[in-house]
Structure formats: C-alpha cells, structure tokens
Chains A and B, each alone.
Chain A
Amino acid sequence: MARLLLWLLGISGLALLVTAPQWTAGHPYVLHMLVLMCIYAIPAVGLNLMLGYSGLVSLGHMGFAGLGAYTAAVLMVDARWSFWSALGAATLAGALAGVLIGLICFRFRGHFFMIVTLAFGLLLHAVMNNWDEVTRGAAGFAGIPRPRPIAWGEGMISFGQLPNFYYLALALALLVFAVQYLVVRSNLGRILAAIRQDERLARSRGVNVLMYKTVVFALGTAMAGVGGVLQVSFLRVAAPASFNMLESINTVLIVIIGGAGSLLGPALGALLFVGLPEWLRLANEWRLVIFGGLLVLITLFAPTGLAGLLSRAWQRLARREGQP
C-alpha cells in the first residue's frame, strides 16, 4: 500500500515536471528557474555519488563543471562542433580530469583530501580566468550556441525556445538521476558504501579501494561536466565566476541540505537553492546567508537533510496508516 502510494507520488512528480511548460505558460520566469534547477542538480548528483555515497568530500567540484563547459565552448565556437559531440567530449574531459586529479587527491585522506580538491578547484578556475587565448579570460566566453534545431516529424525543435531547452535540461537531469539510481542500487553502490563506512574492511574483503574511488570520482566529475555544458549553452556565455570556489561550496551545500547519500537529495537541494531566495524575493547576496543558516539548522537537527526529513515523515505516516 505504502509502496503503491510512493509510486503514485513519483509518477505525479514526474508528470508535474514534464508538463511544466504547460502549467507555467505565461510565466516563463518559473520555467527559467526550473532550467536553473536542473543545471544545479546535475553536478550535485555527481557530488552526491562522491560525497554522499562514497564519503569523498570534494571542494573543487564546479572546477570540473567549468572544465567541461569550456571544453564544449571551445569545440562549439572555435571548432564548429555540434552541441551533442561537444557534450560528449566535455563529459569525457570531465571524467578524464577526474581520473588524473583523483589519483593525486587520493594520496590524501579526510581533511587533507578536501584541501587538495579545493586546491585543484582553484587551479582550474585560475586557468579559466587567465588563459585569455583559449578561454577569453575573466570577461567570459560569449557566443556559445544553443543546440542546433532538430527535425521532428514535419517541424523543427528549436532550443532557442525556453520550453524546448527545458525539456533538454530535464532529459539530461533525468538521465543523470537514472545513472545515480543504477549505481547506488547495485553491487557497485554496495562497494562504494563499504568504502565510506570502513576503508580497511573493504580492502580486506578484496576491494581495490583506490580503483573504485577513482571510478566514482570520474563519474562525479563527468556529471559535473554535463552540468557545465548545459549551463553555458543555456546562458550562452561561459564565465569563470560560474565555476569558482564559491560555486563548489554551493554544490556541497545543495547536496548536504538536500540530503547527502539519498537519491532525491540533490533535486531537493537544487530546488531549495534556486527557488527559496526567489520565492523570498531576496537579492542574490543573501543567498549564502540563508543557506549558511540552513546548513547550521540541518546539521543540528536533520543530519540526513531534507530527503531524510521527508523519509522520516513518510515512515511515520506509513506506520500510522498501518495501525488499526
């Protein structure tokens, strides 16, 4: 019974997302927010796999998103690649950088690991900010195209139109969530959870810890790359400031507030992160203050984040329902 209800909830949530262009008709602003939500949620899913499921707290995550974004920007603008091939290349670039940088970072543990990832995030940002010939430097990389229109039956789907771009963003987000689901609910997910809980035990059970950490790191940074490409194609400009340390910290906040180590956590976190300040009509500069406060409240009262709160409320409800 409870399971059926959960399915119904999931399907109606999905239906709500799919029909968003219809129910937001006349308020393109809301749809704009939903696209931004997808853009934040995609790298957050990657970080959730690392931080939430495997215990690898990376403070340089958005640096990899930037790497993917700029890779795609250069390929699309300078090399005239299509959006789709550039997206593929950027995903690969994110994964490859994840392998190389991960292998260096995994020489450190705990806090030291975090500091090294922070350093690599700063390094990637410095490259974007200063390599003027390729990245156009601090002024940003303008003129990034949306994907070219694709033929659909008689007509064409143009991604210049917000609803169509929203469907692209939603599809990519759903894809990333599907990958997260498949990984978490598998033997691979069990191995990652074991590494988070007790690395020495995992090793003594035959787990090549370094290899698995590298794999999940690369998976996470590949997802960051996807998010970066989506972002710059949406905004039509790549700015180094979108991929700085503050943005990396924001992604950590999204994952923790949403619920690290839960499937829906990144979506809830991104929803709150994008939606709350807008809803409260607060200027952007208050965003961090609010989220700092929220973070304190969450770590004190709900260490499993919003997703944890929801699932506890759900369990209480299901239990009450089960009683005669």
Chain B
Amino acid sequence: MSALLVQDLHKSYGGIVALDGAQFAIEGPGIYGLIGPNGAGKTTLFDAIAGTVVPDSGRVVLGGRDVTGWSSHRMAAAGISRTFQECRVLLEETCLDNVLFAAQPKTLGASLAQVLTRASGHRRRCHDEAMRLLSLVRLQDYAHSPAAQLSFGQRRLLEIVSTFISSPQVFLLDEPASGVNPSLLEVLADFIRIMYAERPRVFLLVEHNMEFVMSLAQDIIVMHQGRVLERGSPAQVQASDKVVEAYLG
C-alpha cells in the first residue's frame, strides 16, 4: 500500500490544461522533490493533494484511503499538512501561538468542550515541543513577538515549523526556499533533515531552487505539461535528456 498515490489526475481551467494524466506513487517515508518548468502543473497537483482543487478526474489515495475531492480541512484531519507558496502565518499572533494553534484540536466538539472546561493541559504539553521547534529555526527569541514583526524568510520558517507540530503523515512544502536568504536556507535545510531523521514520514517539496531540492531529496519527480516526465535520483534526473529538453524548451 502506497503512502500517497496520485492516479491519472486531470484538471483544466477553461481551455487551459493544468493536469493531463499526472500520476505517481510514493511508497514510503522519504524526502521527495517535485520540480518542473513554469506551468508544468506542480501547484495544481499540489492543490489537488491538499484539497484546495478538485480534479476533473483521477484519484488521490492517502494511505489506502481514497481522498479525492476532499475539502482541505478534511485532508488536514486525514494527515496532510501543507505550506503555501505565498507563505501564510497568523500575523497578529505570536510565533509561539502560531505553532500552538497548529497543534490544537480543531473539531467542534473538542473546541466547545474546551470553552467550558478551560482545560489547558494539551496546550501546556505542546509548549515545550513548540519552543524546541522554534529554536531549531532560531526563532526562539521571537516566540512572544507577533509574526507580523518577522522578515519574510522568518515567516516562511515559522509557517514550516507550524506544520510539523501536528504530526501529520504527509508534508507538502510549496516552494519552501523562495524568499529565504542563503543563511536561513541552511537553517531550513537542516531543520527538514532533523525532522526527517526524528520521524521519517513523507515530505514532498515543490521547489524552483534546484541546488536546495537536489541536496535534500533522494527522489525527484519531474513534471512537464501536466504529467510526470521523469522520476529518479537527483543524478539520474539531472542527466536525463528529456528533463533538459523540457527546461530549455
């Protein structure tokens, strides 16, 4: 049983075909890279897995369960955690609260019960882990500052850290390196390696920064014109004529 299976996905917007039979299977834990030239359909594919786009046809199967067309909050509950290309954090909340918010239960029953019982045990238990994650990306000094005070690169790190605390099965990181300066990029790469080493799960990175993704991922999926063009180790992919041709057009 695959951890994540994408089968024959099709999606068009009017006359524009974004996904044209994209499919791949991710068998088990690992750091996977999803690359491709602009317009290859990476983001649409990502959105289909995360539940923000409903594919016209095809299937998304998560751990044996068909989750095609599920809304994103159900996807999140099923164990998919994502970041956004444009980077989204709660600007008014502190960094710590951003991480703790990701950790808190989201079902209505749990929320209403917490209103009445005011139980804070779960929050306290998550506190240390949240601080540890924040310090791994050197945000510990900003734990009690609103996220709005962070630079874009720091917000990116905060967003990524937040996705890791809810211990999902599949992480979708949408261009994690974009807008992050080179020194923070090192921090980010180390963070992802540490997270993977602690608990190997499926990490899927859409990335334009080739150096970054090739150094992290052991398995690269190349998309072109809405389908998977090539798949293999970084060395194999870099040597592939098809890939070179797709990029150079």
Q: Which residues of A pack against B, CB within 8 Å?
A: 182-183, 185-188, 190-191, 193-194, 197-198, 200-201, 203-209, 211-212, 215
Contact = CB atoms under 8 A, between A and B. Distances in A.
25 contacts: A182-B116, A185-B118, A186-B115, A187-B114, A187-B115, A188-B112, A191-B104, A191-B106, A193-B90, A193-B92, A194-B101, A197-B91, A197-B92, A197-B93, A198-B90, A200-B88, A203-B71, A203-B73, A204-B72, A204-B88, A205-B76, A205-B102, A206-B73, A206-B77, A206-B166
A212 B90 contact: no
Interface in B49-97: 50, 52, 71-73, 76-77, 81-82, 84, 88-93, 97
B39 interface: no
A208 B106 contact: yes
A186 B111 contact: yes
A185 B97 CA distance: 13
Contacts of B52: 200, 204
Interface of B: 50, 52, 71-73, 76-77, 81-82, 84, 88-93, 97, 101-102, 104-106, 108, 110-112, 114-116, 118, 162, 166
B202 to A, nearest CB: 17
Given A188-B111, A190-B104, A207-B106, 12 more contacts: A186-B115, A187-B105, A187-B115, A191-B106, A194-B90, A194-B93, A201-B84, A201-B89, A201-B90, A203-B73, A209-B73, A212-B111
Contact of A201 (B77, B88, B112, B166): B88
Contact of B111 (A191, A200, A203): A191
Contacts of A187: 104-105, 110-111, 114-115
Nearest to A211: B108
B114 A186 contact: yes
B101 A198 contact: no
B106 A188 contact: no
Contacts of B77: 206
Contact of B108 (A193, A197, A198, A212): A212
Nearest 5 CB-CB pairings of A with B: A206-B76, A201-B88, A206-B106, A188-B111, A187-B114
Contact of A188 (B101, B114, B162): B114
Nearest to B87: A201
A298 to B, nearest CB: 19
B114 to A, nearest CB: 4
A119 to B, nearest CB: 27
Contacts of B91: 197-198
Contact of B115 (A182, A200, A204, A206): A182
Contacts of B102: 205
A324 B102 CA distance: 40
A187 B104 CA distance: 7
A186 B119 CA distance: 9
Contacts of A208: 73, 106, 108
A206 B93 CA distance: 18
Contact of B72 (A190, A193, A203): A203
A203 to B, nearest CB: 5
Contacts of B104: 187, 190-191
B187 to A, nearest CB: 22
Contacts of A200: 52, 72, 84, 88
Nearest to A188: B111
Contacts of A183: 115
Max chain A Cβ within 10 angstroms of own Cβ: one of B50, B77, B84, B111: B111
Contacts of A182: 115-116, 118
A228 to B, nearest CB: 24
A200 to B, nearest CB: 6
A115 to B, nearest CB: 26
A140 B27 CA distance: 70
A204 B76 contact: yes
Contact of B84 (A185, A188, A204, A212): A204
A205 B105 CA distance: 10
A191 B84 CA distance: 19
A282 to B, nearest CB: 37
A313 B101 CA distance: 30
Nearest to B162: A205
Contacts of A212: 108, 111
Contacts of B111: 186-188, 191, 212
A242 B23 CA distance: 61
Contacts of B73: 203-209
Contact of B93 (A193, A203, A205, A207): A193
Nearest to A187: B114
Nearest to B122: A187
Contacts of A205: 73, 76, 101-102, 106, 162, 166
